[in-house]
């Protein structure tokens, strides 16, 4: 009998078996068998059509695993399930079952069934490789767009009285900020990744000239005693330091924001995967450290990259974590201080300042992100 016919017959049986599964262990057994068959088919160099039909079974089982995972009850923000020791949480329960990537499976389970089926059908029809990673990426992007569209559909709210949003070109809007008024500058400028209009430059020189220009423009707006935190592309971080040294700025620290949930897995064979971004700390003002020595006193912080399923949401491709900016603002300024962010993006700085009782001045030129900022606040 033709291999393709055998696979299709097994696909129908597997699909029915997946639907009948009553526990996560049952469906995991189907998923593991499909994964073993997928690996064999790939090694045997079977056609893409045959491989995709096997993966079809695998991803359907993974989606079902995600459905079971989502059903675990939640209590006080933590996943709980009754167990013999009374202490097991969701992560440990699934770990004991041999399930490591339940977030990915839950992302697939969040897809409506008709959308999930259509994605699989179109992938096969277009003769493209079907894979878990592709479906997860599609699901998260769809969720991000859905949350953004819901946010944009709201009526704009009046901004809090301690928030000022300047709309337009950064150099034009900086002129509106009063000289010697800003206590803390915290900003996440363009990185020269060439993945969006606002982040595209013709050359490294043009990008670094732009960087120097905005730093020179904001300096007169800072008080005599100030702090600055600049997130920057690791590839050009040394150039940023050179610019700041040429401007005789007092560099104090180099912070490392380390993230574990978005490490690059496709860096290739010539470089290591990147799981960090540097933040340059400049200033001549004391930081607000507490009396106890906690993680905030050290220069490496592990904080997750925002995802669409997080409480804070994700509305910008380079959005920084609220926890990260909240900590920087709390350490670099005091209640009532003026905090400026001249590349506001989706407005995370404003949200942190609202919570921490700081006055915030933000600059943003993109109309879509301006609306997102207003609605997030």
Decide: helix, strand or coil at residue 72. Answer: coil
Q: Which of 73-82, 101-110, 189-198, 279-288 has the highest mean pLDDT?
A: 279-288
The pLDDT > 90 percentage for the chain reads: 42
State the pLDDT at residue 10: 66
Q: Which of 201, 257, 209, 204 is nearest to 229 (CA)?
A: 257
- Is the pLDDT at 114 greater than 70? The verdict is yes
Contact (CB, 8 A) for 320 and 231: yes
> What digits encode the pLDDT tens for the residues 347-370?
999 999 999 999 999 999 999 889
Q: Is 239 exposed, middle or buried (0-12, 13-18, 19+ CB in 10 A)?
A: middle
State the pLDDT at residue 25: 83
Kindly give the residue spans of alpha helices, DSSP state H, lying in the chain: 3-20, 24-43, 48-70, 90-96, 102-109, 113-125, 132-153, 170-174, 204-218, 237-246, 322-332, 348-356, 367-376
Contact (CB, 8 A) for 108 and 66: yes
- Is the pLDDT at 161 greater than 80? The verdict is no
Average pLDDT over residues 174-192: 93
Decide: helix, strand or coil at residue 131. Answer: coil
- Is the pLDDT at 184 greater than 60? The verdict is yes
- Is the pLDDT at 339 greater than 50? The verdict is yes
State the pLDDT at residue 77: 35
Quickly tell me which residue has 């609202």 as its tokens: 354
265: its two tokens: 């897995």
Topology of domain 163-376 in CATH is Rossmann fold (3.40.50)
Torsion angles phi and psi, residue 219, rounded to 5: -55, -45
pTM to 2 decimal places: 0.62
- Is the pLDDT at 254 greater than 70? The verdict is yes
- Is the pLDDT at 13 greater than 80? The verdict is no
Q: Model confidence at 286, in pLDDT bands (50, 70, 90)?
A: very high
The pLDDT > 70 percentage for the chain reads: 85
- Is the pLDDT at 174 greater than 80? The verdict is yes
283: its two tokens: 């200033």
State the pLDDT at residue 81: 37
Kindly give the residue spans of alpha helices, DSSP state H, lying in 71-112: 90-96, 102-109
Report d(CA 41, CA 355) in Å as an integer.
Answer: 54
Contact (CB, 8 A) for 229 and 280: yes
- Is the pLDDT at 83 greater than 60? The verdict is no
Average pLDDT over residues 211-221: 97
Domain extents in the chain: 3-152, 163-376
Report d(CA 276, CA 16) in Å as an integer.
Answer: 44
> What digits encode the pLDDT tens for the residues 294-330?
888 999 999 988 776 677 777 777 789 999 999 999 9
> What digits encode the pLDDT tens for the residues 23-65?
888 888 888 888 888 888 888 888 888 888 888 888 888 888 8
Whole-angstrom Cα Rg for the chain: 25
Report d(CA 56, CA 158) in Å as an integer.
Answer: 48
Report the interhelical angle of 132-153 vs 48-70 (nearest 10°): 50
State the pLDDT at residue 1: 40
309: its two tokens: 């399923």
State the pLDDT at residue 189: 94
- Is the pLDDT at 266 greater than 80? The verdict is no
> Between the CA atoms of 304, 228, 236 and 243, what dihedral angle is there, to the nearest 10 degrees?
180
State the pLDDT at residue 284: 96
Torsion angles phi and psi, residue 241, rounded to 5: -60, -40
Greater confidence (67 vs 266) lies with: 67
State the pLDDT at residue 9: 55
Greater confidence (146 vs 320) lies with: 320
């Amino acid at each position: 009998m033709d291999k393709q016919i055998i696979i299709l017959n097994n696909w129908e049986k597997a699909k029915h078996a997946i639907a009948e599964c009553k526990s996560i262990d049952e469906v995991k057994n189907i998923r593991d068998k499909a994964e073993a068959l997928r690996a064999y088919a790939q090694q045997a160099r079977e056609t893409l059509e045959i491989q995709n039909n096997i993966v079809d079974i695998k991803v359907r089982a993974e989606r079902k695993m995600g459905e079971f995972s989502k059903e675990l009850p939640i209590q006080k923000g933590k996943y709980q399930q009754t167990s013999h020791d009374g202490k097991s949480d969701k992560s440990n329960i699934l770990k004991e079952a041999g399930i490591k990537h339940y977030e990915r499976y839950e992302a697939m389970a969040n897809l409506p069934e008709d959308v999930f089926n259509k994605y699989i059908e179109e992938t096969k029809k277009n003769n493209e490789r079907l894979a878990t990673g592709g479906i997860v990426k599609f699901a998260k992007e769809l969720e991000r767009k859905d949350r953004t569209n819901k946010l944009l559909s709201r009526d704009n709210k009046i901004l809090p009285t301690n928030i000022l949003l300047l709309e337009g070109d950064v150099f034009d809007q900086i002129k509106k900020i009063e000289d010697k008024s800003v206590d803390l500058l915290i900003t996440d400028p363009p990185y020269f990744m060439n993945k969006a209009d606002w982040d595209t430059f013709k050359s490294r020189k043009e990008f670094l000239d732009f960087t120097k220009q905005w730093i020179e423009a904001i300096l007169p707006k800072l008080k005599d005693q100030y702090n600055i935190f600049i997130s920057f592309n690791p590839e050009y971080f040394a150039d940023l330091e050179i610019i700041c040294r040429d401007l005789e700025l007092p560099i104090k620290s180099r912070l490392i924001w380390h993230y574990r949930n978005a490490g690059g897995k496709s860096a290739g064979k010539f470089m290591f995967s990147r799981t960090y971004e540097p933040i340059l700390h400049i200033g001549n003002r004391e930081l607000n450290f507490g009396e106890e020595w906690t993680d905030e006193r050290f220069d490496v912080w592990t904080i997750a990259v925002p995802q669409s399923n997080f409480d804070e949401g994700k509305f910008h491709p380079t959005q920084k974590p609220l926890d990260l900016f909240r900590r920087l603002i709390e350490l670099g300024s005091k209640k009532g201080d003026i905090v400026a962010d001249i590349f506001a993006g989706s407005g995370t700085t404003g949200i942190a300042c609202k919570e921490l009782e700081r006055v915030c001045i933000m600059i943003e030129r993109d109309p879509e992100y301006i609306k997102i900022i207003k609605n997030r606040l």
